Structure formats: structure tokens, C-alpha cells
Amino acid sequence: MRYRPEGQKEDGVANDWLKILDDEIASGDKMLKAVPKVLADPDISVDQVKALFAELEQQAQFVEKLRAALEAMGHDFPVVDKATALEARYADLAATAAEKLKEMRD
């Protein structure tokens, strides 16, 4: 049995997660636009790219754990699908930073 605050229906919990994940996906979408611009800055240093990569990778790992936890708690596909989409966004951003780092080192 999953924990639900007293009086809150299961659909309400799912809707709460959907709202949270929608907000996070919107933030991820903004980052999809901002990160390439930051990485295109000719004055960006290797240390800055390393730091950006580390933060994006950490976020991707967190969202991966969150998705797994939501799935383990038995949330329906819409919640898990949104978490999977969010995980993919951060993984893509981390990969973009990793490519820039490789390019700078070559």
C-alpha cells in the first residue's frame, strides 16, 4: 500500500507528480536552449565545461533514481513516462557537455 496524505485520493497523488514533472520538463526544455549557447561561448573554459557536465550528469542520475522509485511505487504510465522524458533531457544535456569537453581536449 502506498502512502497518501489523509483524505488525498490516489489520482490526486498522480496528478501532483504529473504537475511536478511537467514543471521540471519545462525547466529542462529551457536548459536545452541555454546549454548549447553557453557551450558555444568562445571564452568558456575547460573547468567550466567540466563543472557543467558534472552538474548535468548528477541531475540525470537523480532523475533516473526518481523514475525508478516512481515505477517501483506502482505509478501509472503517464507519471513514469514523464519521468523518463525528464531523465532523457538531462542525459542529452550531459552528453552535449561531454562532447564539448572532448572537443576542447582534442
- For 33-62, the pLDDT digits (tens) are 999 999 999 999 999 999 999 999 999 999
In single-letter form, the type of residue at position 39 comes to L
Question: Is 82 inside a domain boundary?
Answer: yes
- pLDDT at res. 11: 66
Domain count of the chain? Answer: 1
- pLDDT at res. 75: 85
Q: Is the dihedral of CA 91, 94, 95, 96 positive or negative?
A: positive
Nearest to 92 by CA among 44, 57, 54: 57
pLDDT(8) > 70: no
Question: Is 19 inside a domain boundary?
Answer: yes
pLDDT(2) > 60: no
Nearest to 93 by CA among 35, 51, 30, 21: 35
Question: Is 3 inside a domain boundary?
Answer: no
Question: Is 74 inside a domain boundary?
Answer: yes
Question: Is 4 inside a domain boundary?
Answer: no
In the numeric block, the cell 544535456 is attached to: 93
- pLDDT at res. 10: 52
| Domain region containing 21 | 10-105
Q: How confident is the model at residue 68 (pLDDT cuts 50, 70, 90)?
A: very high
Question: Is 21 inside a domain boundary?
Answer: yes
Residue 40 burial (CB count, 10 A): 9
pTM of the model: 0.79
